[in-house]
């Protein structure tokens, strides 16, 4: 009677299966929605702010413009 090897079933790495969030979007400070998009920089002020990693966002819900650190 051969003994079958009792290997534990392969468990997926939970740490690797976290949904990817390469660029988490900030929340709109006005309405609190996360339905925002990055507003392209156009003016010289935005270029300067882009150097210090501040990006301009626009809320799709209320149309509010706001700036946030890019790393947030
Ligand atoms: Zn909003």
CA of 1 to the centre of ligand 1 (A): 69
Distance (Å) from CA 10 to ligand 1 centroid: 44
Residues found in the chain: 72
pTM across the whole model: 0.57
The shares of helix, strand and coil residues in the chain, as percent rounded to the nearest 5, are 10, 20, 70
Structure confidence by residue, pLDDT tens digits, 40-69: 877 888 888 888 888 899 999 999 999 998
Q: What is the pLDDT of residue 66?
A: 94
Distance 57 CA to ligand 1 centre (A): 10
Higher model confidence: residue 6 or residue 61?
Answer: 61
Measured CA to CA in angstroms, residue 43 lies from 3, 40, 63 at distances of 73, 9, 19
**What is the enclosing helix (H) or strand (E) of 49?**
helix 44-51
Q: Where are the domains of the chain?
A: 36-69
């Amino acid at each position: 009677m051969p003994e079958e090897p009792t290997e534990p079933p392969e468990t997926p790495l939970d740490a690797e299966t976290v949904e990817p969030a390469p660029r988490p979007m900030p929340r709109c400070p006005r309405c609190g929605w996360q339905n925002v998009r990055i507003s392209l920089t156009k003016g010289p002020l935005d270029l300067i702010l882009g150097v210090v990693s501040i990006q301009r966002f626009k809320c799709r819900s209320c149309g509010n413009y706001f700036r946030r650190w890019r790393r947030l």
